[in-house]
Structure 1
């Protein structure tokens, strides 16, 4: 694969209700699997967050969910390995159910994080995302 290694999908300060997408990590053609760590550091306030790890097969025109981690008013850290499973997938963008992995993992050559938050968070609430591509 091109450019194996550890990459940051961002450290996103969560404040007002919003939808945020990180700058994509590119140049990962031939990736066979990724390990992902999402860390939600809760400060105060807020209602819910949903963090979607996404990939694309058409250079960013259509993004699809690989994993969704949901959070609310408590800190949470989760890690997963995502690798192709040979099952057909109907792509979704920001619609994967809470705390699930897509059926039919397909890995493109770029990855991003999509964060959807409700309520108003404060107190240095932060979502951090890292991937290890290989």
Structure 2
């Protein structure tokens, strides 16, 4: 949700005007001049990161050859994922990027890419995929040393 306030309101009642910042951006109108937008730095960083990621996806989609191969340039960690996982990543990231563009908020795009990168890091470190080799215990087991 966007809140609107005049520049005069911001100067006279800054606490009141800025109390709405957690609800979304605040548009500050000025007579005869362009409006200003006050937003949280974290929202700005998330949007900027999302736009950079979206730009990388657009660049990857325009190159020569296979799309998944081209995705390895901005996302080199994809090489640690299986071919099927790389296809899942490509499909999900395109869907999420479209959704983010539709709502004008790109924070979710960064979250999805971070999750996939964490998966690739886990695979690179040798953590079994699909928890195949993991054994779960019903209760804690005491060990003598690490």
Q: What TM-score, normalized to structure 1?
A: 0.20
More strand by share: 1
- Where relative contact order (Cα < 8 A, 6+ residues apart) is larger, the structure is 1
**Higher Cα radius of gyration:** 2
More helix by share: 2
Q: What TM-score, normalized to structure 2?
A: 0.19
